[in-house]
Homo-oligomer: A and B are copies of this chain.
Amino acid sequence: MCEAIVSPLVGMVNKLTNRSCISSEDRARLLGLPSTARLFDAGSYLVREGDSPSHCNIIVSGLACGHKITGDGLRQIVGMHMVGDVVDLQLLYLEIADHNVQTLGRCEVATVPRDALRRLLVEHPSISHAFSTTILVDLSISSEWLLNMGRRDARKRIAHLLCELAARMDREDAAPGQDYRLPMTQEQIADTVGLTNVHTNRMIKSLIDDGLITFVKHTITIPNWPILVRYADFNERYLHIP
């Protein structure tokens, strides 16, 4: 019995394969990309606005977020990246990054030369197809976030985010409504849903008090999934889970 060395890119390949049909040769090509994995502390920057890095980052374990900052220093988180995600998909086709990417909690990240990845994209349509699909799903999530921030009140907004994360989290058992680890501070949640940390705290409290969720030690539990889903007006269609 010999344990094969697992590429840090398996997460990425699995995710791409789920979303799109990729031949086993193409899978092998992706896994064959030169990559190095590294461990980052919570709050490390992986990409900074204005950068034009020569490497792409892929989450191997942990969580990261993309964010932007206004002229007067207010922060808005514009996306969440989970295991298997390429956090800088932007750089596949655009030259400079227009937002920052930062780890949430400790995070293992694989690095791949941008050029090597780009070469695969032009040479193998099905790989390019898979990445494009991923970008479209990101865009779709982004649209739902706009709806969430623009048209739902604070409590629903947070509930909706928690539903989405539950649905997107990579877990062995597919059933939602289980616990999941959420290595975010309440301030970061606030920056995700466009509220203040104080008000976010009150609303989370009230969700807990009403028994809709549990939130201890960075672990979210959803005791009754259908109830939270209905309350949050959550419809997972926009996630395009196959």
Q: Which residues of A pack against B, CB within 8 Å? A: 20, 50, 66, 68, 70-72, 74-76, 78-79, 89-90, 92-94, 96, 98-99, 121-123, 125-126, 128-129, 131-133, 135-140, 142-147, 149-152, 191, 193-194, 233, 237-238, 240
Contact = CB atoms under 8 A, between A and B. Distances in A.
Nearest to A99: B143
B93 A143 contact: no
**Which of A90, A96, A151, A194 gathers most chain B CB within 10 Å?**
A151
User: Dominant SS at the A interface?
Assistant: helix
A151 B98 contact: no
B132 A122 contact: no
Contacts of A96: 237
10 contacts: A71-B233, A74-B152, A76-B146, A76-B151, A78-B143, A90-B139, A90-B140, A94-B140, A98-B237, A135-B135
Nearest to A145: B146
Contact of A146 (B74, B89, B142): B142
A131 B123 CA distance: 16
A238 B151 contact: no
